[in-house]
């Protein structure tokens, strides 16, 4: 197979393959251009239309569009009434935005460890961390594999907690036949270009609760009362402290147009994951995520835990030199400087801590060709051959 390019061999490919990227069609572009020529660049009908189409796709009562996945998490935490003195349980294996929003509202993130198969919150460890200050469970559907929402929902019900599901990875995934976005009290999505649906920047929260939806609509618009806004042309009132987290009609048009291809894009991602699974199944040093039979993943990421010599820095450098845009998702949040400074210790979540230093995400996006997948597999094989001979 040849020497690793990192050590002077010939790379698998010249054109670098990113780990994720958007796919924009002519129809997407046409709808954006049409919106640019319309009367509304923000606060207009494209935003309402995007919310309706998204709610319909996931089977939710209400969908509230915001300017990013982070804004979606912030709005959800705000709407749930989480504030100073409150705690919420979450996973360290996530992008830091999930728990940063708790810090923003003055609440305390409490990290609980993940299970070994899909690296989602381990429900059996949560109860011991629940106390009278606990207000919410914040699972993350890691890599696109839905969290164990049934177990988490039962726990939440028993302790009077709200479930805020960070579904930034799992648009199009299902739990027992139900779409993610129709299950938890609040579900948040991100429309960053590497996610299943790309707005440039954008986010959405879905809920069945009309009051939570109304609170999030106020929060994204400074906290202005919408009742006052609609009564008379000029009159308005500020009833709580919000932000400008509005999505533009331009971004909403881009998102709306892509909903039509979402199902096909998720199917393509599942095909790519199956090809990777086949290629790596016989190699025990490449530990794959195991899909739950009742919770099919929408595969935002394809992470492997490598049990090889060398170490994460060298694996990533070696794959990138082969032209394969490998990445790490994630360094455990409780290992990051800001969190360490606040007293967190990654040793409290040993499964996440160990995984964090073994994880390597391979390229995974719906526009990947079969040749891209084969290149990515070839680069991993070179890595295995280098270390195991
Ligand atoms: C992408 C992502 C976010 C943040 O979304 P943005 O749209 O970038 O603000 C939050 N949580 C997770 C798990 C993500 O992957």
The pLDDT of residue 231 is 59
DSSP string computed for 67-84:
SSHHHHHHHHHHHTT--T
pLDDT means per 10 residues, the chain with 389 residues, are 92 96 96 97 96 98 98 98 98 98 98 98 98 98 98 98 98 97 98 97 98 97 76 80 98 98 98 98 97 98 97 98 98 98 98 98 97 98 95
For the beta sheet containing 286-288, the strands, ordered from the edge strand earlier in sequence to the opposite edge, are 286-288, 302-306, 359-362
The pLDDT of residue 268 is 98
Nearest ligand 1 atom to alpha carbon 300: 15
Task: For 339-381, write each residue's pLDDT tens digit.
Answer: 999 999 999 999 999 999 999 999 999 999 999 999 999 999 9
Q: Is 223 exposed, middle or buried (0-12, 13-18, 19+ CB in 10 A)?
A: middle
C-alpha 97 – ligand 1 centre gap (Å): 6
Longest dimension (CA), the chain: 76
The pLDDT of residue 2 is 86
- 195: annotated active-site residue: yes
> How far is 187 from 195, CA to CA, in rounded Å?
15
Contacts of 110 (CB under 8 A, 6+ apart): 87, 88, 89, 90, 129, 134
For the beta sheet containing 62-66, the strands, ordered from the edge strand earlier in sequence to the opposite edge, are 62-66, 203-207, 186-190, 162-166, 134-138, 87-90, 108-111
Which residue among 19, 22, 68, 70 has the greatest number of ligand 1 atoms within 8 angstroms of its CB, and so is best to mutate?
A: 70
C-alpha 342 – ligand 1 centre gap (Å): 22
Nearest ligand 1 atom to alpha carbon 192: 7
Identify the bridge partners of residue 42 per DSSP, sorted by sequence position: 248
The pLDDT of residue 235 is 80
The pLDDT of residue 293 is 97
C-alpha 328 – ligand 1 centre gap (Å): 14
Q: Are 346 and 356 in contact (CB under 8 A)?
A: yes
Nearest ligand 1 atom to alpha carbon 202: 7
DSSP string computed for 22-38:
----HHHHHHHHHHHTS
Pocket around ligand 1 at a 6 A CB cut-off: 68-70, 94-95, 97-98, 140, 166, 168-169, 190, 192, 203
**Nearest Cα residue to atom 7 of ligand 1:** 69
Which residue among 66, 97, 100, 121 has the greatest number of ligand 1 atoms within 8 angstroms of its CB, and so is best to mutate?
A: 97
């Amino acid at each position: 197979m040849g020497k690793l390019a990192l050590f002077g061999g010939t790379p698998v490919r010249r054109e670098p393959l990113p780990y994720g990227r958007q796919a924009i069609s002519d129809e997407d572009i046409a709808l954006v251009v049409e919106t640019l020529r319309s009367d509304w660049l923000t606060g207009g009908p494209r935003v309402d239309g995007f919310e309706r189409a998204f709610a319909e796709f996931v089977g939710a009562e209400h969908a509230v569009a915001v300017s990013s996945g982070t804004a979606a998490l912030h709005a959800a935490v705000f709407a749930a009434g989480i504030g100073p003195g409150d705690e919420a349980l979450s996973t360290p294996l996530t992008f830091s935005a999930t728990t940063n929003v708790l810090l923003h509202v003055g609440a305390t993130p409490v990290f609980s460890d993940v299970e070994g198969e899909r690296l989602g919150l381990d429900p059996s460890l949560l109860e011991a961390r629940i106390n009278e200050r606990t207000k919410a469970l914040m699972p993350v559907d890691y890599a696109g594999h839905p969290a164990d929402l049934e177990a988490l929902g039962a726990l939440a019900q028993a302790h009077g907690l709200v479930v805020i599901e960070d579904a930034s990875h799992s648009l199009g995934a299902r739990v027992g036949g139900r779409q993610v976005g129709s299950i938890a009290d609040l579900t948040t999505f991100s429309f960053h270009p590497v996610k299943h649906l790309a707005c440039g920047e954008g986010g959405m929260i879905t809920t069945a609760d009309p009051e939570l939806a109304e609170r999030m609509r106020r929060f994204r618009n400074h906290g202005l009362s919408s009742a006052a806004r609609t009564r008379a042309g000029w009159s308005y009132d500020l009833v709580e402290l919000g932000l400008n987290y509005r999505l533009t009609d331009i971004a909403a048009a881009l998102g709306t147009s892509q909903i039509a291809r979402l199902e096909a894009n998720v199917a393509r991602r599942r095909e790519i994951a199956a090809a990777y699974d086949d290629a790596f199944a016989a190699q025990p040093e490449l530990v794959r995520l195991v899909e739950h039979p009742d919770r099919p993943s929408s595969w935002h990421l394809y992470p492997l835990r490598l049990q090889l010599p060398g170490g994460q820095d060298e694996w990533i450098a070696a794959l990138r030199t082969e032209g394969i845009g490998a990445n790490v998702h994630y360094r455990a949040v409780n290992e990051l400087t800001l969190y360490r400074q606040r007293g967190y210790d990654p040793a409290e979540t040993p499964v996440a801590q160990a995984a964090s230093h073994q994880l390597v995400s391979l390229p995974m996006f719906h526009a990947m060709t079969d040749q891209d997948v084969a290149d990515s597999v070839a680069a991993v094989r070179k890595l295995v051959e280098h270390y195991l001979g």
